[in-house]
Chains A and B, each alone.
Chain A
Amino acid sequence: MAFSEEIFSLKNSNGEMMHGVIHHPEKPNGALVLMFNIGLHYRVCHSRLFVRQARDMQKNGFTVVRLDTSRVGYSHGEIPIGRAIDSYDAVQTGLFKDDALVFLQYLKNRFNPRKIFFCGLCGGALTAIIAAAAADEVDGVVFIAGPVTVTSPEYELSTMHPFHADILVAGYLKRLLSPSAWGRFFSGKTSYRSLFTSLKVKLAARLKKSEAFNGADKTGDPESGEENKGELFNRVFYESFEALMKSGKKIVFIMPELDRATYDFDSVFAKKVLRHFTESAHLFKVARIPKANHTFSTPESTRCLFDMTNEWLTSNLP
């Protein structure tokens, strides 16, 4: 199809100009999909994933809009200078929600769509679900590889995640019978720190009784006053999910197999929370992509992501 993309701009409530790209379909199916930037990075997404995915949806009749909220990409605004990790929790608890709603109003008025979906990856998935919970007009959310935990930067930087420990231990086990691996071990070429830390983390993860979610957990709640010391369930995410279910909105969680976000998703959300929502089971779907990493960097995983997204969106058309 002919190139049919348009740049547009609008201001948020702070007077900051924000920019986006609209992908116009040849034969519109009446649905509008808003794709939110992945956190501190912009609307193109890593490996141009969002450009490719937007064009894929565009071919299927969706009007797709890739967005830069304020403070990222070409948009106005400032994120405080410092460690990037210091801004992650803010993104994951709704930093860009208001901007998302400004975009929604403009695009809703312009296209008058019959269905509206929010879509995001990683931090963008959190923007999508948090903003969707606050907007009556949104019909559903495509939540891709979003982290459902929040963490303190100090904890994050000083601790090995169990998912990474799993990968390292699996690698060590594979090389257990390799003479050259033992040679590296005895000659000091092995990273003993990685070896012992991964074993320790894996053991601890096995023994750990989950304290991450107890139904009344306030971790992640900025008003709780509690110090966040680890991988803790993101309360804002939970409340947004609960709001979606109460209002009858739909959501698909698309989770890559080889991703720590999926590890956390399973351990603190899928196994412990979703079972309390059996009455809303028709509203949510968990889809998993095997052999996919956080960035869907193989052609197979990319194709799978696109197909799953299109299939779910199409099944929710009027």
Chain B
Amino acid sequence: MNINWANINSPNLSIIEKHGFYNRDGKNLFRAEYLPAGDIKAGVVLCSPFAEEKIRTLRIYVSLARALAAKGLAALCFDYFGDGDSEGNFEEALFEDRLSDIESVFNDFKNRHALQKTALLGLRWGGTLAALTAENLHPDLLVLWEPIIDTTKYFYDFLRMNLASQMLIEGKVIRNRDELIQDMRDGKVITVEGYNIAGGFYDKAAAATLKGKTMAYSGETLIMQIAANPERIRPELETLRAALSKAEIKAVPREFEWEKTETWRPAPPLLFGETINFLDKNGFFGRNIQS
């Protein structure tokens, strides 16, 4: 593939970058568009993962957006209401806001650039949200990077960091996870890794699971397993693949982390390569970029 991954973030005159705020129902959402200098026919909207995972992987998204734009696709990074550079506080955003944000920026992006083909892409919980919104938005393609399948478990596990904080600061666990959940349901906001979480958000986000869900999205889907052992596909991803009408799974080893920052690889070549191949295979570039 004719992409120099090591220089993907170097200045490139063939890419137009537009940064600003987009107003969704009175809420200012940050967005960064990466547009090819010529005609635009297809575009990809990138949905961010949750909380600190977003901070740690932002550069991956920016790098992918630049790689896509360099090859003639439009790409859009954005922040949900209450997240990243967007207006609002984290605890003010409802679960429904996340879905509305995706739907609104996607439709605006598609209409403004008159895109003939569209894709939704997401990492981790961003993948989960992309899959959920795809049922309404009907993008041509869906790309799920290591999506969270069992959101109930994911958000329950997330609370563990509050316990670690209690251990560090108080020397013991004062409120266990079940008590923290009850606290949220009683109207309190709890703080996990610096993020304030309210009960309404927690319950709805945890309940909006892909586990066992009947998937109505009918477009082509790429599920990327990112794991230490790419040989063995996890059963939960196989189940998701089976639930989608036209899905395939590809596996790559972990080239970067989302739960810590040990490796600095803003453009993971295997993950990006599989993703671009999938887009190419489905006619997003208008030609075979490997030829």
* Residue from the list A5, A43, A76, A298 in contact with B165, Cβ < 8 A: A298
Q: Give the interface residue-count category, chain B.
A: 35 or more
Q: Is B224 an interface residue (CB 8 A)?
A: no
Q: Report the bound CA distance from A233 to B154 in whole Å.
A: 41
Q: Is B282 an interface residue (CB 8 A)?
A: no
* Residue from the list A3, A7, A170, A258 in contact with B20, Cβ < 8 A: A7
Q: Give the interface residue-count category, chain A.
A: 35 or more
CB distance from A117 to the nearest CB of B (A): 21
| Known A-B contacts A7-B21, A44-B85, A297-B193; A84 and B264 likewise in contact (beta carbons under 8 Å) | yes
Residue pair B11, A167 in contact (C-beta under 8 Å): no
Q: Tell me the A18-46 residues at the B interface (CB within 8 Å).
A: 19, 21, 40-46
Chain A residue with Cβ nearest B17:
A17
* Residue from the list B32, B89, B191 in contact with A74, Cβ < 8 A: B32
Q: Is B58 an interface residue (CB 8 A)?
A: yes
The stretch that binds A, out of B2-10, B36-44, B140-148, B200-208, is B2-10
Residue pair B264, A52 in contact (C-beta under 8 Å): no
* Residue from the list A19, A41, A47, A77 in contact with B9, Cβ < 8 A: A77
* Residue from the list B28, B62, B165, B196 in contact with A73, Cβ < 8 A: B62
Residue pair B59, A73 in contact (C-beta under 8 Å): yes
Q: Report the bound CA distance from A3 to B27 in whole Å.
A: 9
- Interface residues, chain A, CB within 8 Å of chain B? 3, 5, 7, 9, 15-17, 19, 21, 40-49, 51-52, 71-74, 76-87, 167, 170-171, 174, 258, 291, 293, 295-299, 302
Tell me if B's interface is mostly helix, strand, loop or mixed.
mixed
Residue pair A7, B264 in contact (C-beta under 8 Å): no
Q: Beyond the given A296-B194, A297-B191, could you list 8 further A-B residue pairs with CB under 8 A, ordered by the A residue number?
A: A9-B19, A16-B11, A46-B193, A74-B19, A74-B32, A78-B266, A81-B264, A82-B263
Residue pair A48, B28 in contact (C-beta under 8 Å): no
Q: Report the bound CA distance from A46 to B87 in whole Å.
A: 17
Residue pair B62, A74 in contact (C-beta under 8 Å): yes
Residue pair A83, B59 in contact (C-beta under 8 Å): no
* Residue from the list B6, B55, B168 in contact with A44, Cβ < 8 A: B55
